[in-house]
Amino acid sequence: MTFEKEWAELRSAAAQRSAMQINSAPAEGGGGAGAPDLVVNRDDLGAIGNDAYELRTRLSKDGDHARPATFDAATALTNGNFASGSAVLKVHDFWQKHLKTLLDSCAHISNHLDYTKAQHAKDDVKIGGDLAPISKLSEYMK
């Protein structure tokens, strides 16, 4: 069998599987056992986004408590000719780097979920508007 023939058969089979089905479930196991494949609950998205924002807010305040004391200790140890001064400074810098990464990640999650929540609301309005003319046609067909 040539590549072109095999490719054409695969495309044809895929088109048959994805053909529009109105008022019925897929004939062959596609789409799950009667349950939707994807469910988006805007309240859940908002709650998770809010939790990520609150975590970021608390972490930015509470994660910075030890920074000034750690830096001062590193400076004092270095000025006192202790070798551990540079090690404490490394710990300070390492903590700051990873704290910033974690704060950025929390902000990204919060922003993404806020965007997703708003986008789904817009999509719902658009889909409702797109389906309204079809509903009118269905009334005329009766």
pTM of the model: 0.53
**Contact, 28 vs 16, CB < 8 A?**
no
pLDDT band, residue 92 (cuts 50/70/90): very high
pLDDT band, residue 98 (cuts 50/70/90): very high
**Cα–Cα separations (whole angstroms), residue 63 to 28, 57, 82, 88, 141:** 53, 10, 27, 17, 65
Q: 126 pLDDT exceeds 50? A: yes
Contact partners, residue 88, CB within 8 Å, separation at least 6? 70, 73, 74, 77
Top-confidence range, 31-35, 38-42, 46-50, 60-64: 60-64
**Cα–Cα separations (whole angstroms), residue 12 to 27, 74, 98, 127:** 17, 69, 51, 28
User: What pLDDT sits at residue 130?
Assistant: 77
**Helix residue ranges per DSSP H, the chain:** 3-17, 42-62, 67-79, 84-141
**Cα–Cα separations (whole angstroms), residue 128 to 13, 21, 30, 54, 124:** 31, 19, 25, 34, 6
Top-confidence range, 26-35, 71-80, 112-121: 71-80
Averaged pLDDT for residues 31-43: 56
